[in-house]
Amino acid sequence: MTGLIDVALNRITMYRLVLTYLAALVAVALIGGFVGLSPADPAQLALSAVIVTATCWVVNRAFAWAFQVPANTESVYITALILVLLMPPVAAQDHQGVLGLIVASSAAIASKFLATVRRRHIFNPVAVGAVAAAFIVGQPATWWVDGSPLMLAVVLVGGLLVVRKVQRFDMVGAYLLANLGLALATSPPAMLGQTLQFSLLYSPLFFAGFAMLTEPLTAPQPRTPRILYGILIGVLSSPNTHFGSFYPTPEMAFLAGNLFAFLVSPKGRFLLRLKRIERTAEACYDYVFTPDRPLAFRPGQYLEWTLDVPTPDNRGNRRTFTIASAPTDPEVRLGVKFYPAPSAFKQALARMRPGDLIHGARIAGGFTLPPRPSEKLAFIAGGIGITPFRSMIQHMMDSGDHHPAVLLYGVTRAADISYSELFEAARTRIGLRTVYALAEPDPEVDPDHIGRIDAALIAREVPDFRERIFYVSGPHGMVRQFQKTLAELGVARARIRVDYFPGFA
């Protein structure tokens, strides 16, 4: 079952999944409101949705034009729908309520452009908007979305899919435990049942954790900081948390958590100008960019790329790609493969010419080299999953890092092999041994192996496999299969590191 879920999730971007989740919540709230299963009045909810969405769209367009940056429509709608689900629905004659929605929406979008450092917004836009509406207009957020069993069921099902997609169970789990644990620990024994019921059924606990905590641009990416981030927000948003007579609201807790996230990972956005395009294999290209400032990253990490796509499809105008260059390179490489019927993003990428710009943000990822140079390594790459290994191997050559390494590189045909010249140079300079596996025979090429990489090939080419750390990169299905294969060979789980791409064309 989890395999089928992962296959479905890998066909949709994280932003589109969150947008679908939020739209489903609003739709269920509207329908449920007609039969008394939702706390929101349908007419008021519909009016609020129109006001918030229109305000967010207009303000975002204005700032995007003024700052000359791509207008990410998905991000606008996500912000708008979260505000709709936590701000109280209003009637047309409720002038204060209408003004509160306009202030919340305007402040949320404006914060993405104004509350920034190096073009990275620091605070969760929804939290900014909710706090602004409370202080400026006196219209606080009510977080009504968790106010009925029907809504809670949709919050839980959709939210768990979002967390599985972004792989942040550790952060969300830390948040939930901190919030619930503190609430129970500070409640009188006679009130424990009531406290637990309120926290689970009627508080913002789950929606805040699923829809806001997982927002990637304002949360830290490394494992330890993100767990601390979850704990901090969980503690500050717990209902019994107070400082004297002051009780912070959930949105205030997020602002404090965002500040912590910025302090522990103060990387901003990057502006990258295309310098040239290099063909690396059949339908595979390296886009070589000059960044506006040096990128500080570790080999194997990824970058989120945002491109100005005039008419984005259901996969949006953002992608997460591994940085194919090494940290020592002055240029930044993006390695991509083009498939038939490419997405709108890939079509826009294909139209890029030297001098064109793309935006980068959120350097992250734990698929990186071990600190000890004595560790033996084994790399397994499938197709375009070779890009993180290009970064690692180039870095090893540049830095003199002589990890004993073997690369098992599986492709369909010889024409699909990328970076062969680099790997040949690495054989001479750092002793890298590369084994090419072709799924289809090629009469003009004598490969090391005909067929796909399997347990027999691993055992033959890497006889000391139990002593090595394995890095596996490629499509999700391939990565899952190798996790199983390596475990069956007796490789310890802690010595298997994986990096997969969702396969968006």
In this structure, whether the domain defined by 270-364 belongs to CATH 2.60.40.1220 is answered with no
Cα dihedral 278→280→283→285 (10° resolution): -40
How far apart CA 110 and CA 56 sit, in angstroms, is 9
We find that the CATH architecture of domain 376-501 is 3-Layer(aba) Sandwich (3.40)
pLDDT tens track for 82-128: 999 999 999 999 999 999 999 999 999 999 999 887 767 889 999 99
HSE value, Cβ hemisphere, 13 Å, CA-based, for 376: 9
Number of other CB atoms surrounding residue 235 within 10 Å: 19
Q: Where are the alpha helices (DSSP H) in 340-475?
A: 344-350, 387-399, 420-430, 455-461
pLDDT band for position 1 (cuts 50, 70, 90): low
Helices H / strands E in the chain, number of each: 17, 14
**Burial classification of residue 78, based on how many CB atoms lie within 10 Å of its CB (0-12 exposed, 13-18 middle, 19 or more buried):** buried
Please report the DSSP string for 312-337 in residue order: --TT-SEEEEEB-S-TT-SSEEEEEE
Q: Beta strand pairing status for 318-322 and 332-337?
A: unpaired
Give pLDDT, residue 350.
92
3-state SS, residue 363? strand
> Do the domains 376-501 and 270-364 match in fold?
no
Q: Report the pLDDT averaged over residues 60-67.
A: 91
pLDDT at 268 over 80: no
pLDDT at 309 over 90: no
Amino acid at 153: A
How far is C-alpha 56 from the chain's CA centre? Answer: 22
How far apart CA 371 and CA 483 sit, in angstroms, is 22
pLDDT band for position 392 (cuts 50, 70, 90): very high
DSSP code at position 444: T
Return the ∠ at Cα 34 (arms to 31 and 39), rounded to 5°: 85
3-state SS, residue 208? helix
DSSP-based helix, strand, coil % in the chain, nearest 5: 50, 15, 30
Give pLDDT, residue 267.
64
Which position has the token pair 């449920």? Answer: 32
The torsion angles phi and psi of 409, rounded to 5 degrees, stand at -120, 110
pLDDT at 503 over 60: no
How far apart CA 219 and CA 202 sit, in angstroms, is 25
Give pLDDT, residue 505.
45
Number of other CB atoms surrounding residue 9 within 10 Å: 18
Query: Is the pLDDT higher at 317 or at 286?
Result: 286
How far apart CA 52 and CA 103 sit, in angstroms, is 9
In SS3 terms, 35-46 reads as CCCCCCCHHHHH
3-state SS, residue 121? strand
pLDDT tens track for 130-181: 999 999 999 999 999 988 899 999 999 999 999 998 889 999 999 999 999 9
Give pLDDT, residue 443.
67
pLDDT tens track for 247-267: 999 999 999 999 999 888 756
In SS3 terms, 227-245 reads as HHHHHHHHHHCCCCCCECC
pTM, two decimal places: 0.76
What residue ranges do the domains of the chain occupy? Answer: 2-264, 270-364, 376-501
Contact 104, 130 (CB under 8 A): yes
How far apart CA 432 and CA 347 sit, in angstroms, is 36
130: left (phi over 0), alpha (psi -120 to 50) or beta: alpha
Contact 14, 505 (CB under 8 A): no
Radius of gyration of the chain (CA): 25
DSSP code at position 454: -
Residue 405 pairs in a beta bridge with 377
How far apart CA 215 and CA 21 sit, in angstroms, is 14
